[in-house]
């Protein structure tokens, strides 16, 4: 009480200064329901999965999802990379609600209902394109690891992954409805496009390049023409490898490029950068051609427990992550998404880039101590 009474004036002023409005952050991506389970090696072998990987479901994975649910104890979480980041940004901001907007496609089914409910609970302004031909997308997280820790946490109803030591995670995404995002039937509608125009920061992870590169380009061009901030993520090695052309079509509009070390390495190889040095890769990606030259590109690469690298037009810097006793890590799944969410939350109030990174490290630090990309009630970021 005393403390609050000491300086009520400046605190209030500061709050007013920082007030954000609805729909300032626009995200678009693949809304997926994550299905997590600890599986055995036979299961991975049967479906030709690597212990640590991230792939798209193919024909041979058709039965995987049913078998996973039948054979193993599973947990469901609302997911999808971009949706997770928007959710984390909104959590960092807290109020007002609905600073974050999210577009994506779901089915008119039970999983779709769950996703809608989760978005609402997270106070994200989700406007899904709903269609009945395809079911809501899913992402199987197949966890293996002989460590007891894994079994223990799972039996408590959580979904652990520590790709560093304890367990391995193989992700298989079945986009289904997410793949059916229809620009003409959703993004282009007047009331939806108005939400796009309302935003000042945009985030569409590279994964969405497999769904609608045209929709990404439309949003990115709008951002560029109005000197607003468009951000994307390398998302996974297969994006740099197999969606190189659409990725490089969007790149000239990218103001902030995110990625982790593995994704950066693949991107560099595909682009013929001829270097494996992460700082050098960041510098080269920063210098790729750009349309809006008023805003030089910023490149941010995370490296798990190692320093995060940031390249601006002037310099390449590294920032240590928040130190954590590695045994306290429950699940690094979603760490990257959380980092991006924290970063964006500060970017929205025009904070310096160093502050954005600090917030990214903070939210990632929170998420890795919990199962999945879940969050406590409130952040404690100062």
**Residues taking part in catalysis:** 337
Nearest CA to 35 out of 272, 333, 310 is that of 333
Q: Specify the residue, 204 or 340, whose C-beta has the smaller distance to ligand NAG.
A: 340
Q: Which residue sits closest to ligand ATP, CB atoms considered?
A: 336
Dihedral pair phi/psi, residue 144, rounded to 5°? -130, 160
302 contributes a contact to ligand NAG by CB under 6 A? yes
302 near ligand ATP, judged by CB under 6 A: yes
Q: Which of 335, 344, 356, 371 binds ligand ATP (CB under 6 A)?
A: 335
Q: Which of 104, 295, 135, 127 has the alpha carbon at shortest distance from 216? A: 104
Residues 6+ apart with CB under 8 A from 155: 73
- From ligand NAG, ligand ATP, none, which one binds at residue 300 (CB under 5 to 8 Å depending on kind)? ligand NAG
Contact, 280 vs 318, CB < 8 A? Answer: no
Among residue numbers 35 through 94, which ones bind ligand NAG (CB under 6 A)? Answer: 52, 54, 81
Whole-number Å distance between alpha carbons of 278 and 245: 23
* Binding range to ligand ATP, per CB under 6 A, among 103-111, 180-188, 274-282, 362-370: 362-370
Determine the interface stretch with ligand ATP among 64-72, 138-146, 237-245, 360-368 (rule: CB under 6 A): 360-368
Which residues are within 8 A (CB) of 277 and not within 5 positions of it... i.e. 6 or more apart? none
Stretch that binds ligand NAG, among 19-27, 228-236, 246-254, 367-375 (CB under 6 A): 228-236
Q: Is 247 in the site for ligand ATP (CB under 6 A)?
A: no
Pick one of ligand ATP, ligand NAG, none as the site partner of residue 202 (Cβ within 5 to 8 A by kind).
Answer: none
Which stretch in 98-106, 147-155, 205-213, 325-333 sits in contact with ligand ATP by CB under 6 A? 325-333
Alpha carbon distance, N-terminus to C-terminus of the chain: 20
Question: Which of 339, 348, 357, 367 contacts ligand NAG by CB under 6 A?
Answer: 339
| Options 23, 30, 163, 183; binder of ligand NAG; rule CB under 6 A | 163
Query: From CA 346, how far away is CA 13, in angstroms rounded?
Result: 18
Contacts of residue 71, Cβ cutoff 8 Å, sequence gap at least 6: 39, 43
Mark the segment that binds ligand ATP (CB under 6 A) among 149-157, 190-198, 331-339, 343-351: 331-339
C-alpha angle 312-315-316 in degrees, rounded to nearest 5: 85
User: Smallest distance from the beta carbon of 79 to ligand NAG, in angstroms?
Assistant: 11
Q: How far is the CB of 8 from ligand NAG (least distance, A)?
A: 38
- The count of chain residues that interact with ligand ATP, using the rule CB under 6 A, is 22
Q: Go through the chain and tell me how many residues it has.
A: 382
283 makes contact, choosing from ligand ATP, ligand NAG, none, with CB < 5 to 8 Å by partner type, with: none
Q: Is residue 244 at the binding interface for ligand ATP, with CB under 6 A as the rule?
A: no
* Cis bond before residue 96 (omega within 30° of 0): yes
DSSP string, 338-366: HHHHHHHHHHTTT--HHHHHHHHHHHHHH
> Which one of residues 339, 346, 347, 374 is an interface residue with ligand ATP (CB under 6 A)?
339
* Residue list 234-273, contact with ligand NAG (CB under 6 A): 235-236, 258-263
Q: Alpha-carbon distance 328 to 360, whole Å?
A: 19
Instruction: Lay out the sheet containing 298-303: strands in order across.
Output: 125-131, 100-107, 25-28, 201-203, 229-233, 256-260, 298-303, 306-311, 316-319
For the CA atoms of 231, 237, 240, 246, the dihedral, rounded to the nearest 10 degrees, stands at -60
Q: Which is nearer to ligand NAG, 136 or 266 (CB)?
A: 266
Handedness of CA 34, 40, 44, 50 (dihedral sign): positive
Q: Does 368 bind ligand ATP (CB under 6 A)?
A: yes
Least Cβ distance, residue 257 to ligand NAG (angstroms) = 9
Q: Are strands 32-38 and 137-144 parallel, antiparallel or unpaired?
A: parallel
Residues lying near ligand ATP in the complex (CB under 6 A): 164, 260, 302-305, 308, 321, 324, 326, 329, 332-337, 339, 361, 364-365, 368
Residues lying near ligand NAG in the complex (CB under 6 A): 52, 54, 81, 163, 233, 235-236, 258-263, 300-302, 304, 336-337, 339-340
């Amino acid at each position: 009480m005393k403390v609050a009474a000491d300086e009520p004036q400046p605190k209030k002023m500061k709050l007013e200064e920082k007030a954000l409005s609805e729909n300032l952050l626009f995200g678009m991506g693949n809304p997926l329901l994550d299905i997590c389970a600890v599986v055995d090696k036979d299961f991975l072998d049967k479906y030709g999965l690597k212990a640590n990987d991230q792939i798209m479901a193919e024909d041979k994975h058709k039965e995987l999802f049913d078998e996973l649910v039948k054979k193993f104890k599973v947990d469901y979480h609302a997911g999808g990379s971009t949706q997770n980041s928007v959710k984390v940004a909104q959590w960092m901001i807290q109020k007002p609600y609905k600073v974050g907007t999210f577009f994506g496609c779901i089915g008119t089914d039970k999983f779709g209902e769950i996703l809608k409910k989760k978005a609402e609970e997270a106070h994200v302004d989700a406007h899904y394109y709903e269609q009945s031909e395809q079911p809501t997308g899913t992402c199987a997280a197949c966890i293996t690891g002989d460590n007891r820790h894994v079994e223990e946490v799972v039996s408590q109803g959580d979904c652990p992954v520590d790709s560093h030591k304890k367990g391995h995670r193989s992700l298989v995404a079945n986009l289904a409805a997410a793949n059916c995002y229809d620009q003409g039937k959703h993004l282009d509608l007047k009331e939806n496009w108005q939400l796009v125009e309302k935003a000042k920061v945009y985030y569409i992870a590279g994964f969405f390049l497999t769904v609608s590169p045209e929709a990404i380009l439309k949003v990115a061009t709008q951002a560029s023409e109005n000197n607003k901030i468009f951000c994307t993520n390398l998302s996974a090695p297969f994006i740099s490898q197999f969606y190189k052309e659409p990725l490089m079509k969007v790149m000239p509009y990218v103001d902030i490029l995110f990625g982790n070390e593995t994704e950066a390495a693949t991107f560099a190889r595909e682009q013929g950068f001829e270097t494996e040095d992460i700082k050098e890769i960041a510098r080269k990606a920063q210098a790729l051609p750009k349309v809006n030259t008023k805003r030089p590109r910023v490149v941010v690469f995370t490296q798990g427990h190692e320093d995060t690298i940031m390249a601006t037009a002037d310099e390449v810097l590294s920032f240590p992550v928040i130190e954590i006793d590695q045994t306290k890590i429950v699940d690094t799944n979603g760490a990257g998404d959380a980092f991006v969410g924290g970063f964006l939350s500060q970017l929205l109030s025009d904070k310096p880039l160093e502050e954005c990174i600090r917030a990214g490290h903070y939210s990632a630090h929170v998420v890795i101590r919990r199962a999945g990309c879940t969050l406590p009630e409130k952040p404690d970021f100062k």
